[in-house]
Amino acid sequence: MLVQENVPLAPLTTLKVGGPARYFVEATTVAEVRDAVDYVCSRKLPLFVLGGGSNLVVSDSGWPGLVLKIAITGINHEGHHPVRFGAGAGEDWDQFVALTVQHNCAGIECLSGIPGSVGGTPVQNVGAYGQEVSQTIDSVQVLDLKDGQERELLKDDCGFKYRTSIFNTTERGRYIILRVNFMLTHGDPPHIAYADLQKYFAGRSTTPTLAATREAVRQIRASKAMLIVAGDEDCRSAGSFFKNPVLSSPQYEQLKLRAETRGLQIPSYPALEAQRKVSAAWLVEHSGFVKGYSNGVVGISRKHALAIVNRGSAHAADVLALKDQIQERVQEIWGIRLEAEPVMVGF
């Protein structure tokens, strides 16, 4: 195990802000993960586990302990219907999705183009365009820091809900994800339920293939600067910065009334039984933070209202200042407190 010191973290994130890690280890095996855990325990250092760096904001002061980057790779698959795919936590997520599509296996094709690693997807129950990873995750292999044992947590053990799991709520910091196992269906048609996808394929007489659906998702994401493209400033973000609020019926009716007094209509769709999920992007834009908004160093993506972007010289403090400003304005106008989606590191 190689322990490096004072390693800059900003280059390891998609937002490109933040200070250094006091100590840094890149682990390619479970044994190296264990060695890193022993290292922090023996020195009483705080530990942060880093995946693909796509959904986090690192503080300007960095991380005072050890940052452990999980780089465990390896993909296997078995069975016929369904097919069980296993992937190391350090595998690139989009490349893994591409492989499942090549094998004509449905279930995660709409999650194409999402930056980050396989191990990061269960943490916030990654979802997009009508699919969530929890729909296909069979189990998650972890190292339990409470007793040092390796365990296999079944899907029901993970407490998956909208953008949450036990890994970022009740058991935050307890488990290090080593591998994720998925159950996918061979030969099933793609999931074309999301409005953007339906619009993309409108007028076609045949059902799109999984490969065509994957390409459509990537093109749609690219149009919103949600696909990492070298040289595109609007990609210098942490993805969607705010979660879509899920409201009860009374809360939704109150919001609807506020909108109607302004001559506006709330775009929404039923979610979680009697609740409604409301577009955070709509709330942001109708609070004065339109696409392309900029204060010089940080701003809003020109293609997606939920992406706070680093215009090139931003610090983490600049990002959080804009986040706070947006939250306060949305609360003032709409009576809703937006919840930030990225993980905050070192604050």
Check residue 268 and give its pLDDT.
64
When pLDDT is cut at 50, 70 and 90, the band that residue 277 belongs to is confident
Tokens encoding 6: 């004072």
Regarding whether 47 and 167 lie in a shared domain, the answer is no
Regarding whether 301 and 163 lie in a shared domain, the answer is no
Regarding whether 79 and 66 lie in a shared domain, the answer is no
Regarding whether 59 and 8 lie in a shared domain, the answer is yes
Mean pLDDT score, 262-279: 73
pLDDT in tens, 172-231: 999 999 999 999 999 999 999 888 899 999 988 888 999 999 999 999 999 887 877 777
Containing domain of residue 22, as a range? 4-70
- Residue 228 falls inside a structural domain: no
Check residue 269 and give its pLDDT.
61
Check residue 275 and give its pLDDT.
63
**How many distinct structural domains can be found in the chain?**
3
Regarding whether 219 and 80 lie in a shared domain, the answer is yes
pLDDT in tens, 84-105: 999 999 999 999 999 999 999 9
CB 85 within 8 A of CB 77: yes
Give the residue numbers annotated as catalytic, written as ranges.
163, 240, 341
